[in-house]
Amino acid sequence: SGALSMWGDRMWHFAISVFLIELYGRNLLLTAVFGLVVAGSVLMFGALIGDWVDRNPRNKVAHASLFVQNISVTICSIVLMLVFSYKQRIEQIWDGWLTVVCYTVVIVLADVANLASTALTIAIQRDWIVVITGYNRGHLAGMNATMRRIDQVTNILAPLAVGQVMTLASNVVGCGFILGWNLVSLIVEFFFLSRVYRIVPALSAKPPSVAVDQAYLQRIERKRLQGMNCSLEGNCNSSLHLKEITDLPLCFRRFRWLVSTCKDGWMAYYRQPVFLAGMGLAFLYTTVLGFDCITTGYAYTQGISGSLLSLLMGVSAITGLMGTIMFTRLRKAYGLVNTGIISSCLHLGCLLLCVCSVFAPGSPMDLSLLMPDITSNSSTPLLPDRSSIHWTNNTVLFDNVPSGTAPESYISIILLFLGVITARIGLWSFDLTVTQLLQENICESERGVVNGVQSSMNYLMDLLHFIMVISAPQPQHFGILVIISVFFITTGHTMYFLYAHKLKEDRKELINSRGSV
C-alpha cells in the first residue's frame, strides 16, 4: 500500500508542475503560486491535521485520507484534460476569467490532495507502523528503512514513467494515465489497508474521539480547575469567562477551538523531549544542496547535460539506499542516538566538499553582482525568455542558452555534486534516526498532532530556502546559497548534538540517583 501511495504521489508531484507550466504559456508563475499555496496550507493546518488523526479511529483516518487524496487528483486530472482539450475556447469565455477559475480549481484540488497525503503519511508512517511492529525498536527501524527505500526508488522511477507517457503521447493522455492510476490505486490501497487493520487487532485499540465543542469546553474547564489556588475573585472571573464561551454561537466556538488546537499543538511539540531533534531535522530543509530544479538548473548553466544529470540522480538514489542500510546497521551496533551523531558527522563532512566547490576553479561566484547597478539604464525583464523548455525528470533545460557558457574548469561542479551525492548517505540515515526518535518518544495520544507540527516546521524551513533563491537568483550567487545552506544544516545538526548531550546528562543523573538510593 505504501509503495502504491508513494508512486502515485511522485507521479502527481512531477506531472502537476509540468502541467501548470504548460497551462500558463510555459511560465513558472503558476508553479510558484502552487508551491506557496501547498507550503502555506501545511504550515497553517499541519497541527489541525495531526489533531484530527489523533481524535479519530485509525481505519477511518486512513480510508478518509486515501479517498480524499485520490478523488481530488482524479477530479483535478479531469479538469486538466478539459482545459488542455478546449483551452482556446475557454479563454474566450467571460473575457478569459473562466481560465483563471480553472487555474484556481486545479491549484485548490491539488492542494487538498497534498493535505490528504500529509494526513495519510502521518497516520501510516508515524502511527500505524509503530503499532504493527509491536513497539519493537529493531523491527521499527527495519520498517522505517524499508519505507524509505521504497520512497527512494519511486522518486526516480515514477516521474520517469509518467514523463515518458507525456512525451510519447500528450498532456491529455498523461492526465488520463494519472486518472486511471489513481482510481485503480484507490481500490487496491483501500483493500490492503483494510486487510492490515483486520489482521493487527492493536490498531483498533485507540481512545474514542471527542466532539469538537466538548473537547474545547473540557480544555477550558481544565484551565479553570488549574487556577483553583488563585483568589476567589479570580475564580469568579474564570467561571464568567467559561459562561461567555458557552454562550458564543457555534461557528465562533468552532473557530476558537481551531485556534486553540493549533496553539496547543505547537505547545505540545515544544514540550516533547525530542523537540531539539525534530527542529534539527527541520533545519535541514533550508538547503539548495539537493536534486531539485534549483540545483540541477544551476548545473545546466555550468555545462552539465541533461543525460548526465539524470545519471547523477540515479547515483544519488543509490547513495540514499546506502544510507538506509547504514542506519539499520549503525542502530544495531551503537544505538539510535549515537547513530544520529555518526550520521550528522558524515553528512557535514561530505558537505565540506560543496563549500570547497564555491572557491574552486570554475566557480562562477561573483559578489559584485549582489550590488544593484544604479548607473545602468537597461531594464531587465521580470521573467526571462522561456519560449522553449524541455523537461528531463525534474530538470529545466533552456534551448536558448548562449554558446560558450561552459566554465573554464569543471573542478567546482564536480566537487559540488560529489558532496551532494555522498552527503545523502548521512542525510537519510539521520532522517531515519529522527523519525524513529519521534515515533518512540511521543505518546500515542499526541503522536498525530506533534508529527503534524513537524510537517509544518519542515515546510516552513523549505519556504526559507525558496526565499533565499528569490533573493539571489543568478548562477553567480549560487555559491552564497551553498554557504547559507551549510550554515542552516550545521545549525540543525548542532541542535541534535545538544539533544544527545542533554539525554546523556539525564541518564547520568538517573543512574546516580538510583545509586544513591
Do 1-202 and 254-368+408-503 come out as alike in CATH topology?
Answer: yes
Report pLDDT for 127: 86
Give the per-residue pLDDT at 32. 67
pLDDT at residue 407, rounded to an integer = 63
Structure confidence at residue 369 (pLDDT): 54
Say which CATH class 1-202 falls into.
mainly alpha
Quote the strand ranges of 24-166, DSSP E: none
Q: What is the pLDDT of residue 515?
A: 64
> pLDDT tens string for the chain (517 positions)?
889 988 988 888 878 877 877 776 655 567 767 877 888 888 888 888 888 888 888 899 999 999 999 999 999 999 888 888 877 777 777 776 788 888 888 889 999 999 999 999 988 888 899 889 887 888 888 898 899 889 888 887 887 788 778 778 777 888 888 899 989 999 999 999 999 999 998 888 775 544 444 444 444 445 445 544 444 444 444 444 444 445 555 566 666 666 777 778 888 888 888 999 999 999 999 988 887 767 766 777 777 776 677 678 778 888 988 999 999 999 999 999 999 999 999 999 999 999 999 988 888 777 665 554 434 444 434 333 433 333 333 333 333 344 345 667 788 889 999 999 999 999 999 999 999 999 888 887 788 888 888 888 998 888 888 788 777 777 788 888 899 999 999 999 999 999 999 988 888 777 777 666 5
Q: Which of 6, 8, 9 is nearest to 147 (CA)?
A: 6
CATH superfamily of 254-368+408-503: MFS general substrate transporter like domains (1.20.1250.20)
Contacts 24+ apart (CB under 8 A), 473-478: 474/369, 475/298, 475/301, 475/302, 475/364, 476/364, 476/365, 476/366, 476/369, 477/365, 477/369, 477/370, 478/288, 478/298, 478/364, 478/365
Whole-number pLDDT of residue 209: 47
The sign of the CA dihedral 262, 268, 271, 276 is negative
Q: Give the bridge partners for 396, in sequence order.
A: 391
User: From the CA atom positions of the chain, what is the Rg in Å?
Assistant: 25
Provide the pLDDT for residue 398: 36
Q: What separation in angstroms does the CA of 135 have from each of 129, 341, 503?
A: 9, 23, 21
Entry pTM: 0.74
Spatial contact of 203 and 59, defined as CB atoms under 8 Å apart: yes
Q: In the prediction, which pLDDT does 60 show?
A: 92
| Residues 165/69/13/42 CA torsion (nearest 10 deg) | 170
Show me where the domains of the chain are located. Answer: 1-202, 254-368+408-503
Per-residue model confidence (pLDDT) at position 30: 72
Residue count of the chain, please give it. 517
Return the pLDDT at 252.
60
391's enclosing H/E stretch is strand 389-392
Residue 160's pLDDT is what? 78
